[in-house]
Amino acid sequence: MAPYTFSPPFLSLAPGEVVKVWNAETPSPGVGGASASQQLALLRVQTQSGTPFNVSGFFSGAPGTFEIDVQGSNDDVDTHYNTLNGGQINTVDSTNNTFNLQGVQLDTPFVRLLMRTRGNSVAVSAWIGR
């Protein structure tokens, strides 16, 4: 997948769908731009308050000390994305190097992942699902 770019039309994510946002990639740790995954527009269900979604993925090897931030924004501007409350992923299953974040309720229409830090230069694959 391409790193974050402002490029309408946006990939959208409806209930029951899963989109791969990093595909065996090594994004440079940082604060935006190439450090971020492709953004997704979350389609809202009128009968729900917020938009539940989940994040899952794995590293190709031990990532060392790392942090992936799950970020949301009301508009698709790189500097407007903020890390969601409880949206820091910094632990993996020690056997398979997998991670998962469940049950996030998002009230903003856009979501992305940000590689904030990564101790070892290993590839990451990640999905956002509904």
CATH of the domain at 65: 2.60.120
Residue-level length of the chain: 130
Q: Is 49 a member of any domain?
A: yes
Q: Is 79 a member of any domain?
A: yes
Q: Is 5 a member of any domain?
A: no
Q: Is 3 a member of any domain?
A: no
Q: Is 16 a member of any domain?
A: yes
- pLDDT score, position 19: 94
- pLDDT score, position 128: 95
Q: Is 68 a member of any domain?
A: yes
What digits encode the pLDDT tens for the residues 59-113?
999 999 999 999 999 998 999 999 998 999 999 999 999 999 986 677 788 999 9
Q: Which domain holds residue 70?
A: 11-129
Give pTM, 2 decimals: 0.90
Preceding omega of 63 cis (within 30 degrees of 0): no
Which of 1-5, 41-45, 122-126 is modeled with the greatest confidence?
122-126
List 71's β-bridge partners, or say none.
Answer: 83, 112
Provide the domain count of the chain. Answer: 1
Nearest-CA neighbor of 21 among 130, 128, 129? 128
Distances (CA, A) of 27 to 5, 13, 108, 113, 124: 14, 22, 24, 11, 8
